[in-house]
Amino acid sequence: MEIKGEYRIEAPREKVFAALNDQDILKACIPGCESLEKLSDTEMTAKVRLRIGPVSAAFGGKVTLSDIDPPNGYKISGEGQGGVAGFAKGGAVVRLTEDGGVTILAYDVDAQVGGKIAQVGARLITGTAKKLADQFFGKFAEKVGAPPPTPVEAA
């Protein structure tokens, strides 16, 4: 499943890029995040508790940053195991462009799920994934920018 979106953040691109690499900001913005531990500049471990339809699970996994191009963006990839609930893996390409004193954050998420989670139906999973992406990037834009974020486009 692919999800794309864009947010205008009332902050300079360098500040937005720094926040994308800040463990505390990421932890506060990831829906259901219980812990986020930095292993290196490009690797973290995370524990996230999510509910997708009737399936609730705690996922533990690894997050990796790659294609790092400061302050233009990077790729973030992750894979998590949720026990009997199944697994989730995927990544997001995050691009930052300047528009005056504002930063446009564009994201392109690609995710796959398996196990019980995959059995709840593609429409429910896609809807939940879109909602989680909007929650993360919306909260991120609020924390980093000035006024509340304005969604520009969603697919």
pLDDT digits (tens, 9 = 90+) for 10-67: 999 999 999 999 999 999 999 999 999 999 999 999 999 988 878 888 999 999 999 9
**Taking every pair of C-alpha atoms in the chain, what is the biggest distance, in angstroms?**
48
Work out the angle at residue 102's Cα, subtended by the Cα atoms of residues 98 and 104, and round it to the nearest 5 degrees: 60
**8 A C-beta contact, residue 77 and residue 90:** yes
pLDDT of residue 152: 67
Interatomic CA distance for residues 95 and 89, integer angstroms: 20
Q: Compare 116 and 147 and report the one with higher pLDDT.
A: 116
Residue 144, H or E segment: helix 122-144
Query: What kind of architecture, by CATH, is found in domain 2-154?
Result: 2-Layer Sandwich (3.30)
